[in-house]
């Protein structure tokens, strides 16, 4: 069996890292495509030692990008989560961190013509058929990766990537509050089920016997807690119109508590079986949205209630804070609550550009464009 070379790039996007492919360089049939990606990443294996994966969900990600035919988009972006220790590839969610590197990749590959001094790239997120605009610094028509923008969870500084999300409420579940309630109980625990770009179940730390500032390692070692949370997640998935979520990576579970470091709210997020070292981009947007409405699990921790208009929510996580800028209306009533805009700052960096090699059956790549 000969080694097959597949062009790709390795990018850090936000606090995640993954392989980026042009759509035409992978098989079009999903099962064949997924088989290729599992081989390239080295899954299933806890270390992903025979592949390019980083042995953690945050570093075992893939973006497939192509020119878009949609009138409101320049490029299409499909996100795939490659499981580390299972032979599974999931398209059940978006990833906002990897999204931060989609525009730089598209510019590097010539899918979009760079402008001066910045370029706005319109991105269709195929996982949910929603849209975002990424603003990238492109002085003299070249992508700039160096700058003074800093995000918690990433050392050093980089050029800013500004992400503006458009109409993402209910993108996976069909409604911002898919159960029709801002707060309800599952297995005796108060929860808020919300989807503003990412399906998330919010749970109060104290009802789980937690302070809320436990380390990810401590939470991952708590077997009883993980079993309790998974039981809640399976029920929530059904209520959120996601069906049987046993094999899905959504909904996420965000344990919330009062802010510890001057932010708006504190979080610890299961994604869904490992604990995020920070918090996902779209997960933070959903948590921030729950902070604004006055009848949610999150709102009980907000010292000064928000009012309508443009506002910033600081979501604390294990390695810092995530700031979400929002514009909302009707925040005093579930039936009238509307998110008009969600935006945030990320950074990205090109780490490698070249070819990935894998020993693949000769006919597996025949369906590549």
pLDDT of 369 higher than 80: no
pLDDT band for position 367 (50/70/90)?
low
Please tell me the predicted confidence (pLDDT) of residue 368. 73
272 vs 250: CA distance, rounded Å? 7
> Could you tell me if 23 and 66 are in contact, meaning their C-beta atoms sit under 8 angstroms apart?
yes
Q: What is the maximum alpha-carbon separation in the chain? A: 64
Please tell me the predicted confidence (pLDDT) of residue 321. 95
* pLDDT (mean) for 269-282: 96
31 vs 33: CA distance, rounded Å? 5
pLDDT band for position 253 (50/70/90)?
very high
**For residue range 212-246, what is the model confidence (pLDDT) as tens digits?**
999 999 999 999 999 999 999 999 999 999 999 99
256 vs 244: CA distance, rounded Å? 25
**For residue range 29-54, what is the model confidence (pLDDT) as tens digits?**
999 999 999 999 999 999 999 999 99
pLDDT of 302 higher than 90: yes
Please tell me the predicted confidence (pLDDT) of residue 337. 93
Please tell me the predicted confidence (pLDDT) of residue 361. 84
The three-class DSSP label of residue 60 is coil
Task: Provide the percentage of residues in the chain whose pLDDT is more than 90.
Answer: 93
Please tell me the predicted confidence (pLDDT) of residue 1. 60
267 vs 212: CA distance, rounded Å? 7
Structure tokens at 285: 């947007």
Residues 6+ apart with CB under 8 A from 240: 173, 178, 179, 193, 195, 199, 201, 251
pLDDT of 147 higher than 80: yes
If you classify domain 3-168+348-359 with CATH, what class do you get?
alpha beta
**For residue range 308-357, what is the model confidence (pLDDT) as tens digits?**
999 999 999 999 999 999 999 999 889 899 999 999 999 999 999 999 99
Please tell me the predicted confidence (pLDDT) of residue 303. 84
Residues found in the chain: 369
Q: Do domains 3-168+348-359 and 184-336 have the same CATH topology?
A: yes
Please state which architecture CATH assigns to domain 184-336. Answer: Roll (3.10)
- 266 - beta bridge partners? 257, 316
> Could you tell me if 162 and 140 are in contact, meaning their C-beta atoms sit under 8 angstroms apart?
no
pLDDT band for position 167 (50/70/90)?
confident
98 vs 183: CA distance, rounded Å? 31
Please provide the average confidence, as pLDDT, over all residues in the chain. Answer: 96
**For residue range 88-137, what is the model confidence (pLDDT) as tens digits?**
999 999 999 999 999 999 999 999 999 999 999 999 999 999 999 999 99
Kindly give the pairing relationship between strand 16-22 and strand 61-67.
Answer: parallel
């Amino acid at each position: 069996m000969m080694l097959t070379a597949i062009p790709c790039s390795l990018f850090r996007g936000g606090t995640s890292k993954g392989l980026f492919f042009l759509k035409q360089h992978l098989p079009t049939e999903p099962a064949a495509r997924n088989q290729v990606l599992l081989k390239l990443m080295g899954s299933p294996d806890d270390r992903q030692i025979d592949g390019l994966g980083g042995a953690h969900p945050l570093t075992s990600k893939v973006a497939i990008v192509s020119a878009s035919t949609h009138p409101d988009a320049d490029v299409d972006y499909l996100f795939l989560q490659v499981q580390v220790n299972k032979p599974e590839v999931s398209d059940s969610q978006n990833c906002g961190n990897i999204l931060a590197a989609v525009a730089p990749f598209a510019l590097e590959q010539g899918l979009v013509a760079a402008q001066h001094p910045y370029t706005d790239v319109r991105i269709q997120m195929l996982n949910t058929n929603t849209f975002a605009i990424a603003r990238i610094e492109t002085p003299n028509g070249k992508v700039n990766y160096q700058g003074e923008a800093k995000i918690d969870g990433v050392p050093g500084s980089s050029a800013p990537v500004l992400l503006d999300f458009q109409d993402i409420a209910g993108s996976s579940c069909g409604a911002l509050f898919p159960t029709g309630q801002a707060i309800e109980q599952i297995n005796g625990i108060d929860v808020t089920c919300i989807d503003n770009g990412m399906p998330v179940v919010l749970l109060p730390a104290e009802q789980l016997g937690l302070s809320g500032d436990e380390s990810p390692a401590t939470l991952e070692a708590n077997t009883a807690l993980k079993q309790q949370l998974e039981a809640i997640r399976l029920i929530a998935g059904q209520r959120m119109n996601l069906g049987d979520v046993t094999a899905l990576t959504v909904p996420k579970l965000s344990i919330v508590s009062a802010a510890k470091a001057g932010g708006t709210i504190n979080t610890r997020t299961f994604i869904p079986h490992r604990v995020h070292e920070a918090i996902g981009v779209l997960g933070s947007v959903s948590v921030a949205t729950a902070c604004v409405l006055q009848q949610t699990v999150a709102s009980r921790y907000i010292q000064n209630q928000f009012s309508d208009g443009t506002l910033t929510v600081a979501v604390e996580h294990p390695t810092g804070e995530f700031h979400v800028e929002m514009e909302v209306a009707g925040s005093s009533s579930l039936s009238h609550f509307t998110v008009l805009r969600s935006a945030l700052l990320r950074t990205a960096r090109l780490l490698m550009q070249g070819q990935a090699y894998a020993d693949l059956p000769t006919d597996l790549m025949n369906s590549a464009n």
